[in-house]
Amino acid sequence: MGNEVTKAPSFILATEFYPPDPSTTATYLGAIADAIALDMRTIVLSGTPGSATPAGSRNDTPEVIEISNWKPPKHALVRRLLASSALAMHLFWAVYRRAQPGDVVMSVTSPFTLPYAIALAARLRGARTALLIYDLYPEALLAAGMARQTSLVTRALRIANGWLFRSLNAIFVIGRDVPPLLLRYPRVRAETIHFVPNWTLLPIGFRAPDDGGHFRKSYPAPFIVGLCGNLGFTHAPWTVFEAARLLRREKQIHFVLSGWGVGWNELKALQASENLENVTLLEPVPEEQLAEFLAAADAWVIPYRRNVAGVSIPSRLYNLLAVGRAVIVGTEPNSEAGLAVTEEDIGWVVPPEDPTGLSRAISEAASDRTATLERGRKAAIAALKYSQQASTQRYRDIMQHLLDSSD
């Protein structure tokens, strides 16, 4: 018998995005790590510059170790792929050096190369593994039209996913539409999949429309339809613009469109060509003005492309609920956004990439503004279900269970 002291198991999070990175992914991961650190030693291996914790930090906060990360501009796709692969290799080595048997190592699905490297490093060290799925590949590539079912990339990712998903001890999903896609892979166990939704990042409470407010007073129409956020490859913002074109003679409806990403560039090009009088384009507002901006519209549109159920995360939905606004979602009924809107009766679900159906829903919302605002009141009540405390407690419980259990 020796006098060795057994080290308590640790939780290790490997991620590119972490505070002070301003992205919602970083915000959520920071809160998750902070919550888990209340129960166990927590180490964050972060690819975000300036994220490392200073010496002398409290024991009940994560120890953040900054990992070198090269960040080419977004338009440099080849360089970004090389950078994400390099980061995955750096984080693989960082996990391999630090993980011990009994630890729980978690990664996220961005960049897409990361989960495979982290799961392999953790397995080699005898640690348990967890994955938080924000983007599901190759499904996201297929929905965006960037890959085909029979392509070499798709087949390679499916082979890699087959190994990854069945080797994980826990898979966290933020939508109820994700598990059916995961369970298509052989030997993936349903009991390893845990639905833990994201939460609103704004104070919850219905805000009555203020016609004299900063973001609303410029528009003479009594009913404002909004679109905002990251308009990425899984979104179809052109359907909102086309709906506005179909409703251009409806003087009581005005569209305020804002955002970033490839879809935002598409909207700017469309408006430059059409110059619709019932459409206003706004650059993204500062974070401190977001709640006021979201409260300025009577209803908000979230336009997805076809076949994104289980693929695209509905994080923006929660902030729309928080300010108390009806939502019109272009998506499949079985998607997480579609399920939430239907179950809570807080808006409309229309077929994706269907401008005519979208314009009908907008007309219905505008025809009875009182009923639409009542849906917004229900939305604010529904937002109470999506709290940071409830979601982070769920992460804490599952992590503790993983540490207490044996393979």
Q: Residue ranges of the alpha helices (H) in 230-387?
A: 238-246, 262-274, 290-295, 315-323, 336-344, 355-367, 369-383
The pLDDT of residue 27 is above 80: yes
Please give the residue that has the higher pLDDT: either 403 or 19.
19
Residue 81's pLDDT is: 80
Q: Which two structure tokens, joined as six digits, stand for 251?
A: 């003087």
> Mean pLDDT over residues 144-168, rounded?
90
> Mean pLDDT over residues 44-66, rounded?
87
Give the helix/strand (H/E) hosting 141.
Answer: helix 139-143
| Domain ranges (residues) in the chain | 10-198+387-404, 223-383
Give the helix/strand (H/E) hosting 392.
Answer: helix 388-404
Residue 393's pLDDT is: 97
The pLDDT of residue 374 is above 80: yes
Backbone angles phi, psi at 293, to 5 degrees: -65, -45
> Mean pLDDT over residues 6-28, rounded?
90
- Please provide the distance, in angstroms rounded to a whole number, between the alpha carbons at the two ends of the chain: 25
Q: Rounded to two decimals, what is the model's pTM? A: 0.90
Q: Residue ranges of the alpha helices (H) in 214-261?
A: 238-246
Tabulate helix, strand, coil % of the chain (nearest 5): 40, 15, 40
Query: Residues 106-144: pLDDT tens digits?
Result: 999 988 889 999 999 999 999 999 999 998 888 888 887
Distance CA 272, CA 310 (A): 34
Backbone angles phi, psi at 48, to 5 degrees: -95, 125
The mean of the pLDDT values for the chain is 91
Q: Enumerate residues 6+ apart whose C-beta is below 8 A from 298.
A: 209, 223, 224, 225, 325, 326, 365, 366, 369, 372, 373, 376
The pLDDT of residue 378 is above 60: yes
Identify the weakest region by mean pLDDT among 52-61, 196-205, 393-402: 52-61
Residue 397's pLDDT is: 96
Residue 172's pLDDT is: 97
- Of 325, 311, 300, 337, which Cα lies nearest the Cα of 380? 325
Residue 5's pLDDT is: 44
Query: Residues 265-275: pLDDT tens digits?
Result: 999 999 999 99
Largest CA distance in the chain: 86
The pLDDT of residue 344 is above 70: yes
Residue 404's pLDDT is: 82
Residue 121's pLDDT is: 97
Residue 57's pLDDT is: 65
Classify domain 223-383 by CATH architecture.
Answer: 3-Layer(aba) Sandwich (3.40)
Q: Are both 10-198+387-404 and 223-383 of the same fold?
A: yes
Q: How many residues does the chain have?
A: 407
**What percent of the chain is predicted at pLDDT more than 70?**
96
Classify domain 10-198+387-404 by CATH architecture.
Answer: 3-Layer(aba) Sandwich (3.40)
Residue 150's pLDDT is: 86
Please give the residue that has the higher pLDDT: either 320 or 233.
320
In which band, very low, low, confident or very high, does the pLDDT at 2 lie, cut at 50, 70 and 90?
Answer: very low
Q: Enumerate residues 6+ apart whose C-beta is below 8 A from 196.
A: 172, 173, 174, 391, 394, 395, 398
Residue 254's pLDDT is: 97
Query: Residues 198-252: pLDDT tens digits?
Result: 999 999 999 988 777 788 877 889 999 999 998 988 899 999 999 999 999 999 9
In which band, very low, low, confident or very high, does the pLDDT at 71 lie, cut at 50, 70 and 90?
Answer: confident
Query: Residues 161-190: pLDDT tens digits?
Result: 999 999 999 999 999 999 999 999 999 999
